[in-house]
């Protein structure tokens, strides 16, 4: 028989074993749970790391050139009347909308319009739209007009020198696309150009007062060609395949502070201009006095056209009256025109009232013939007393002299002309020649010119008009 004490000890031992078993079981379960939790955390970390590193999105540079497309006139300002009775503002808007749509399709451009319907927008507000947006360029679209329906051609206007490359690109593309006479680029003091703080041009696509040009301008085909030409000009300017003119970044747009406009930058000074600045490089301005005539002048124009250079013609009023077709040709081919008096008197010996009439009558006949009113005047024989210089300056005319006198009117040989030019010419020089009134119909000038042009090109000279050389407007503002 087992005693009670032994039974108690046995039962107590069993309890202790049970307790130990439970403790060991708990420890095992805890270890298993911790291990599973660790694996879960590890797996989640791996999945998270995997999610972060797989296929990161590429950062795309979305910077574009901002182009403001300005449809000229609008609303209460109809613009010029066309040959068919319509108004310029309708054409301007239609073409501007085409340009805008084409620019939207180009990944390098972000366009904006100054007006999208027939509404009136102040000129200063058009410039403000471009300035406030910090645009990279402004293109103002217009059609040209003149009372003579025969006047035709494309021209592009600019105000500041930084707009010249853009004007050249637009002019080249538009005139080529439409086949209109290339009237060149011209500097004009227009408010929308003066107030714009980026390269800005006015594209005068063609003359709506010319029935033939108007028909093309109002046609879908003509507008498509013109719109594409403007876009091509912008692409060429900014560089289709990587430009040296980078788009403005958002940061630069925000901090950009354009320089204030110099209101006297293009003021005509009360003096005789003899040359341009050598700081502008090796530029030369060819000038031709006393024309036009029907023998020498056309030959000179042919040579200039063949060599793709522009010159300046100082016109006699009585000859302009006799040969208005040649005045038109000079302007249509992109040359500048100056006033050389009506009948070539000596202003030292001419009464003031007669001298002023000589100039004013010549201004009128040139404007009647070609639609431009000269801003340049050259005195016959270079003779100009101070009182007449002051009076001419008040007429908003720049008085032009010369740095090289070829003496071609005297009949000197072409070799002598070349010798004088090579000896006397310096960068910024103005060369005096004649397109009429010389011996043997200026045969010496014509012969010398054909040799002079390639020789000066070889020396690194570029050929400009007098207004371009002196940074003056191409004609008086209308």
Q: Active-site positions?
A: 289, 434
Q: What is the C-alpha separation between 475 and 169, in angstroms, rounded?
A: 21
| HEC profile of 151-192 | CCCEEEEECCHHHHHHHHHHHHHHHHHHCCCEEEEEECCCHH
Beta partners for residue 336, in sequence order: 312
Contact 299, 446 (CB under 8 A): yes
Tokens coding 406: 């070829």
Contact 218, 158 (CB under 8 A): no
Pairing verdict, β 429-434 and 404-405: parallel
Contact 310, 334 (CB under 8 A): yes
Q: Where are the alpha helices (DSSP H) in 54-133?
A: 88-104, 123-132
Packed helices 211-218 and 88-104: angle between N→C axes, nearest 10 degrees: 40
Q: What is the C-alpha separation between 251 and 254, in angstroms, rounded?
A: 5
Residue whose entry in the numeric block shows the structure tokens 């660790």: 38
Tokens coding 298: 């056309």
Q: What is the C-alpha separation between 403 and 275, in angstroms, rounded?
A: 6
| Cα angle 162, 167, 172; round to 5 | 145
At a CB cut-off of 8 Å and minimum separation 6, what does 373 contact? Answer: 363, 366, 367, 475, 476, 478
The end-to-end CA distance of the chain, in Å, is 142
Residue whose entry in the numeric block shows the structure tokens 């010798």: 419
Respond yes or no on whether the N-terminal peptide bond of residue 292 is cis (omega within 30° of 0): yes
């Amino acid at each position: 028989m087992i005693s009670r004490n032994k039974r108690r000890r046995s039962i107590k031992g069993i309890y202790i074993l049970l307790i130990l078993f439970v403790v060991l079981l708990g420890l095992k379960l805890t270890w298993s749970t911790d291990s599973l939790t660790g694996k879960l955390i590890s797996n989640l970390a791996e999945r998270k790391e995997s999610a972060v590193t797989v296929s990161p999105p590429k950062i795309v540079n979305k910077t574009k050139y901002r182009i403001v497309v300005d449809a000229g006139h609008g609303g209460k300002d109809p613009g010029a009347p066309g040959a068919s009775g319509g108004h310029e503002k309708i054409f301007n808007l239609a073409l501007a909308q085409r340009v805008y749509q084409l620019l939207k399709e180009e990944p390098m451009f972000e366009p904006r319009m100054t007006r999208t319907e027939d509404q009136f927008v102040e000129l200063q507000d058009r410039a403000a739209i471009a300035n406030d947006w910090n645009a990279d360029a402004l293109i103002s679209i217009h059609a040209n007009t003149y009372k003579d329906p025969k006047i035709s051609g494309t021209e592009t206007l600019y105000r500041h020198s930084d707009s010249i490359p853009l004007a050249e690109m637009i002019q080249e593309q538009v005139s080529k696309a439409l086949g209109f006479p290339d009237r060149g680029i011209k500097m004009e003091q227009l408010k929308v150009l003066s107030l714009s703080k980026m390269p800005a041009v006015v594209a005068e696509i063609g003359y709506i007062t010319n029935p033939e040009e108007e028909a093309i301008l109002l046609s879908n085909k003509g507008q498509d060609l013109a719109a594409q030409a403007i876009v091509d000009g912008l692409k060429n300017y900014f560089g289709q395949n990587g430009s040296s003119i980078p788009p403005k970044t958002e940061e630069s747009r925000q901090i950009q502070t354009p320089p204030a406009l110099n209101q006297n930058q293009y003021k005509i000074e009360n003096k005789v201009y003899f040359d341009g600045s050598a700081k502008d490089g090796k530029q030369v301005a060819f000038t031709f006095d006393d024309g036009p005539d029907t023998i020498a002048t056309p030959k000179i124009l042919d040579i200039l056209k063949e060599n793709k250079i522009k010159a300046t013609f100082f016109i006699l009023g009585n000859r302009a009256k006799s040969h208005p077709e040649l005045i038109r040709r000079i302007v249509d081919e992109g040359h500048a025109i100056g006033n050389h008096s009506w009948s070539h008197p000596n202003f030292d010996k001419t009464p003031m009232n007669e001298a002023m009439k000589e100039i004013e009558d010549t201004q009128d006949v040139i404007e009647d013939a070609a639609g431009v009113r000269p801003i340049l005047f050259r005195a016959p024989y270079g003779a100009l007393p101070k009182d007449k210089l002051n009076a001419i300056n008040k007429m908003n005319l720049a008085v032009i002299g010369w740095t090289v006198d070829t003496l071609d009117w005297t009949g000197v040989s072409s070799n002598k002309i070349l010798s004088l030019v090579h000896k006397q010419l310096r960068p910024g020089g103005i060369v005096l020649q004649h397109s009429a009134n010389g011996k043997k119909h200026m045969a010496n000038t014509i012969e010398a010119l054909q040799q002079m042009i390639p020789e000066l090109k070889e020396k690194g000279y570029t050929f400009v008009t007098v207004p371009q050389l002196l940074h003056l407007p191409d004609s008086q503002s209308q």
